[in-house]
């Protein structure tokens, strides 16, 4: 008796939302393509992704100068 191969996990591409396989066979995982992977990298490089945080005391000191 052989064990069936595990079903590959499918996820939504973070960039375009298209369903893609999250497995070693997808070199761009979790993205669907090199294009989507590049767009995401470009957004990181341009600092488009930001985490909101309250101003620190250093920020307030610089604003007062």
Reading the block at residue 1, the tokens are 């008796």
- 61 annotated as ligand-binding: no
35 is in an annotated binding site: no
Q: Is 16 annotated as a binding residue?
A: yes
| Strand, helix or coil for residue 49 | coil
Q: Could you list the beta-strand ranges (E) of 1-65.
A: 9-12, 19-22
The helix or strand, by DSSP H or E, that contains position 33, with its residue range, turns out to be none
Q: Detail the residues annotated as belonging to a binding site.
A: 13, 16, 32, 36
Q: Detail the residues annotated as belonging to a binding site for Zn(2+).
A: 13, 16, 32, 36
């Amino acid at each position: 008796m052989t064990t069936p191969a595990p079903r590959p996990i499918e996820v939504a591409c973070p960039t375009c939302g298209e369903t893609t396989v999250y497995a070693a066979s997808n070199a761009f995982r979790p993205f669907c393509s090199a294009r989507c992977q590049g767009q995401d990298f470009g957004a990181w490089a341009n600092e488009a992704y930001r985490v909101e945080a309250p101003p620190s005391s250093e920020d307030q000191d610089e604003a007062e100068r």
